[in-house]
């Protein structure tokens, strides 16, 4: 099937992918605004907020695992128009996410110094990061519930609602950051603590708008307490059988990324700050591929739910071709635009800029492999219900290849950070090589409902 001739496919893909991509662009832009504002406070502040947010990164990817695992069910139930079970899945996802959120919130509020010292032992960086964590931790549970609801809306064809609310969240977070970080409207300048307060207030606004949108429209997610939490043991077991591999996948993958951050921090504060800057830029380039991955998951899940397995396979191939071609283009743009994008960050010394530029070169070269992997794992394998295989593939590549490479490069070979990033990228290559035969075999197509 040639995807550019399939008007139905293109229309469905764009109707889901564009709102999700725009929402991710707003979210990534929000992170960029935070980093841009923090960069004016100096290298220690960039490193502190970047490392503190590794805790949030670990947490939100566990929530992402819960949400995307749930979206496998929601997408297939939506294909059958089974509203009753959609609401039960949503409620179970909110319940589990809240339990995880309580653990992370308590840890960040009461033990922030311990968490920061896992990454780095520079006193000023630890102090600033701890101040940030104690405040921003109160947004964790709110963010989790918002995340679950947003993915539920996307899976039921309402991707525009989270997009519009993200615009409001982005705007409010930027305004609050500016006010509290730099002491505007007669308030004291709070620095990194101000950034945390801005994030917390924006998340409160976000969850309020999402709940209003869901219940005012009386859509498929607008369940009563009984509908959301009225699951039995059989339902929970069926849910966990499919979602637990996804949750473990995201949890251990995220922990692997945290280990990368620890390895980079061992190289020095400059390396940590450079990674934070470049990751922020890469996330902006990556937004369209998150949209593609999520739209492929929804569309493939819908087709399987409707019993159209051949079409599900054709959709998978289309998405993988599109993500690879666009990945090559965007990777090239990332490389040639590095001087321009780095100029957006203020007060970066020459050494930090040069290091960041070298990292961008490495990331740009392997970008198309990264986009292929994101689509095949989050979109194709998970959308098809093949969550166990995708779990072993991702966890194995990170922990057997990526993490050992990171620490060998940083601690034993004592390489510059951009060479360590190149070593870590080998795991992406291995992941792609293993996933291709799985996709071609069609064994990933499973009806979980």
Concatenated DSSP letters for 56-85?
HHHHHHHHHHHHHHHHHHHHHHHHTT-HHH
Is residue 446 in a domain? no
What Å distances lie between residue 361 and 196, 257, 269, 334, 336, CA to CA? 31, 20, 20, 8, 9
Residue with tokens 């009753």: 84
Query: Phi and psi of 253, rounded to 5°?
Result: -65, -45
- Of 59, 445, 63, residue with least CA distance to 247: 63
Is residue 35 in a domain? yes
Is residue 447 in a domain? no
- Please list, in sequence order, all residues whose beta carbon lies within 8 angstroms of the beta carbon of residue 10, skipping any fewer than 6 positions away: 3, 4
Is residue 448 in a domain? no
What per-residue confidence (pLDDT) applies to 440?
93
Give me the domain span that covers residue 326: 3-441
User: Which tokens belong to 405?
Assistant: 């490479």
- How big is the chain by its Cα radius of gyration, in Å? 21
User: What DSSP character marks residue 413?
Assistant: S
**401 in Cβ contact with 430 (< 8 Å):** yes
- Of 329, 318, 322, residue with least CA distance to 367: 329
Scored b (16 or more CB within 10 A) or e, 96-116 reads: bbeebbeebbebbeeebeebb
Is residue 348 in a domain? yes
Is residue 135 in a domain? yes
**198 in Cβ contact with 181 (< 8 Å):** yes
Domain count, the chain: 1
Total number of residues shown for the chain: 449
Q: Look at phi and psi of residue 184 and say left if phi exceeds 0, alpha if psi is from -120 to 50, else beta.
A: beta
Q: Is the pTM of this model over 0.95?
A: no
What per-residue confidence (pLDDT) applies to 34?
65
Query: Phi and psi of 306, rounded to 5°?
Result: -90, 0
Is residue 449 in a domain? no
- Of 333, 273, 292, residue with least CA distance to 42: 273
Average pLDDT of adjacent 10-residue blocks, the chain of 449 residues: 64 74 66 66 76 82 84 82 89 93 94 88 87 91 91 82 86 89 87 87 93 89 87 87 82 86 86 85 83 83 83 88 93 92 78 90 95 91 86 91 95 93 94 94 82
Q: How far apart are CA 208 and CA 242, in angstroms?
A: 30
Is residue 391 in a domain? yes
């Amino acid at each position: 099937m040639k995807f550019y001739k399939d008007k139905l496919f293109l229309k469905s893909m764009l109707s889901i992918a564009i709102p999700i991509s725009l929402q991710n662009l707003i979210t990534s832009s929000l992170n960029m605004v935070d980093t841009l504002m923090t960069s004016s406070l100096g290298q220690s502040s960039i490193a502190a907020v970047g490392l503190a947010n590794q805790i949030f990164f670990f947490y939100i990817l566990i929530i992402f695992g819960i949400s995307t695992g749930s979206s496998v069910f929601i997408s297939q139930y939506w294909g059958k128009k089974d509203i009753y079970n959609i609401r039960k899945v949503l409620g179970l996802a909110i319940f589990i996410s809240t339990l995880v959120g309580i653990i992370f919130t308590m840890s960040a509020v009461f033990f922030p110094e311990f968490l920061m010292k896992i990454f780095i032992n520079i006193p000023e960086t630890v102090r600033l990061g701890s101040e940030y964590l104690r405040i921003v931790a109160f947004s964790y549970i709110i963010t989790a519930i918002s995340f679950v609801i947003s993915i539920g809306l996307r899976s039921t064809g309402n991707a525009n609602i989270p997009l519009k609310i993200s615009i409001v969240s982005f705007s409010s977070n930027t305004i609050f950051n500016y006010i509290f970080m730099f002491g505007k409207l007669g308030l004291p300048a709070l620095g990194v603590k101000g950034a945390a307060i801005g994030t917390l207030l924006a998340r409160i606004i976000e969850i309020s708008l999402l709940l209003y949108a869901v219940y005012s429209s009386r859509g498929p997610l607008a369940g009563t307490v009984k509908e959301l939490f009225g699951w039995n043991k059989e339902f929970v077991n069926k849910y966990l059988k499919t979602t637990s591999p996804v949750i473990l996948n995201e949890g251990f993958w995220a922990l692997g990324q945290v280990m990368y951050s620890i390895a980079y921090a061992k190289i020095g504060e400059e390396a940590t700050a450079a990674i934070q800057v470049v990751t922020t830029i890469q996330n902006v380039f990556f937004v369209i591929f998150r949209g593609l991955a999520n739209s492929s998951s929804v569309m493939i899940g819908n087709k399987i739910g409707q019993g159209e397995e051949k079409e599900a396979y054709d959709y998978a191939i289309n998405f993988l071709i599109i993500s690879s071609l666009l990945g090559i283009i965007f990777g090239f743009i990332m490389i040639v635009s590095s001087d321009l994008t780095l100029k957006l960050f203020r007060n970066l010394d020459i050494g930090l800029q040069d290091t960041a530029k070298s990292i961008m070169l490495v990331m740009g070269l392997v970008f198309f492999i990264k986009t292929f992997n994101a689509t095949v794992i989050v979109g194709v394998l998970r959308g098809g219900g093949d969550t166990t295989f995708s779990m072993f593939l991702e966890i194995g590549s990170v922990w057997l290849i990526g993490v050992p490479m990171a620490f060998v490069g940083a601690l034993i070979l004592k390489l510059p950070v951009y060479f360590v990033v190149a070593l870590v990228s080998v795991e992406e290559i291995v992941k792609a090589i293993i996933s291709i035969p799985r996709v071609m075999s069609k064994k990933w197509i499973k009806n979980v409902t």
